[in-house]
Amino acid sequence: MKRNLLIGKYWDPEAVLKGLDKLTSQGVHIFDVFSPFPIHGVDPYLKSKRTRLTVASFIYGCLGFLTAVTMMSLIYGVVWPMNIGGKPALAFPSFVPITFELTVLFAAHGLVITFFIVGNYWPGKRARLLDIRQTDDVFIIAIDKDKLSDESSVKAVFTDTGAYDISETEYER
């Protein structure tokens, strides 16, 4: 979707937070914030939903747990029971380590793969940058211009809170 963005560029993350605070208090909807590192305290202004990746990871973990227990119980309990060191064929204490490992394996990899899919990341994907230095030392507040009633007040906030550059641009995402 093509959007028209109004962007303010900052060099100080503290100023970004001030800007976001003023903008949201004026009822402006924030499209996104771009920064070279995570700024703590930005999330509440973006009003994004709490991520459910934790739940996903828990489910993957359970899946790994079940896989391990089923695999070992089937192989040693049904397919090919074996007497090893006089222990019962289904020697559950022996299954603890592998069960744990597979739980972690599934939870971790499932989580990361989901993260890549949800965030649409893949090797070779082109990045669309509002400023070439936004991964280095430039912080950007982007606002959807089409949802905006009063452009000038936003620009005023940008200037007041220390944005060094204000511009408009098209952006596709």
Partner 1 sequence: MSHVRSPIRQKWVTNTDTYGQITADIVRPIESKMNLTWIAVTLLSAAVMLFGFAMIGWTIWEGIGTWGLNKTVGWAFDITNFVFWVGIGHAGTLISAVLLLFRQEWRNSINRASEAMTIFAVMCAGIFPLLHMGRVWLGLWFFPMPNTRGSLWVNFNSPLLWDVFAISTYFSVSLVFWYLGMIPDFATVRDRFAIQGRKISSRIYGILSFGWEGSSRNWSRYEVISLILSGLATPLVLSVHTIVSMDFATSVIPGWHTTIFPPYFVAGAIFSGFGMVQTLMIVTRKVYKLENYITLDHMESIAKIVLATGSLVGLAYMTEFFTAWYSGSLWERYIFINRAFGPFGWSYWIMFSCNVITPQLFWFKKIRTSMVLTFIISIFVNIGMWFERFVIIVTSLHRDFLPSSWSMYTPTYVEFGILIGSFGLFFTLFFLFAKYAPVVNMFEVKTLLKHPKKPDNLETGSEPVTV
Partner 2 sequence: MAHAHYTSEQLTERFQFLGKYRTVIFGLIGVGLVLVLASWLLTDGSEATTHAADGHAAIESVHSPVQPVADTHGEGDHGHADHVPGVGTRMLTGTLISLLFFFTISMGALFFLAVHQVGNAGWQTAIRRVPEAMSLWVPVAGVVFLILLFFLGDLYEWAIIPEGVDAIIDKKRAWLNEGSFWFRTFVYFTIWIGGALVLRRLSVSQDSAASVEDGVSFFRKSTGVAAGFIVLFAFSYSLFTFDWIKSLEPHWFSTIFGVYVFAGSFGSAMFTLGLLLTFLKRQGYMSYVNDSHIHDVYKFAFGFTVFWAYIWVSQYLLIWYSNIPEEGIYYVKRYSVGDPAYIGGSFNIVWIINLLLCFLTPFLGLMTRNAKRMAKVYIPISILALTGHYIDIFQMVQPGALGKYWGFGMMEIGFFLIFAGLFLFVVFTALTRANLVPQRHPYLEESLHHTTGDV
Segment 51-110, which members bind partner 1 (CB under 8 A)? 51, 53-54, 57, 71-72, 75-76, 79-80, 82, 84-85, 87, 91, 94-95, 97-98, 100-102, 104-105, 107-109
Q: Which of 3, 22, 24, 34 binds partner 1 (CB under 8 A)?
A: 34
Could you tell me the smallest distance in angstroms from the CB atom of residue 27 to partner 1? Answer: 19
Query: Considering Cα of 113, then 118, then 124, then 127, what sign does the dihedral take?
Result: negative
Q: Which residue has the tokens 């005023």?
A: 156
Distances (CA, A) of 102 to 69, 70, 105, 111, 137: 10, 12, 5, 14, 41
The site partner of 29 among partner 2, partner 1, none (C-beta below 5 to 8 Å per kind) is: none
Q: Does 23 bind partner 1 (CB under 8 A)?
A: no
Distance in angstroms (rounded) separating the CA atoms of residues 124 and 121: 9
Q: Which of 79, 80, 86, 119 binds partner 2 (CB under 8 A)?
A: 86
Distance in angstroms (rounded) separating the CA atoms of residues 71 and 81: 13
> Which of 129, 141, 114 has the alpha carbon at shortest distance from 58?
114
Distance in angstroms (rounded) separating the CA atoms of residues 129 and 9: 12
Q: Which of 24, 67, 73, 94 binds partner 2 (CB under 8 A)?
A: 94
Size of site (CB under 8 A) for partner 1:
74
Could you tell me the smallest distance in angstroms from the CB atom of residue 78 to partner 2? Answer: 23
Residues of this chain that interact with partner 2 (CB under 8 A) are 40, 43-44, 50, 54, 58, 85-86, 93-94, 96
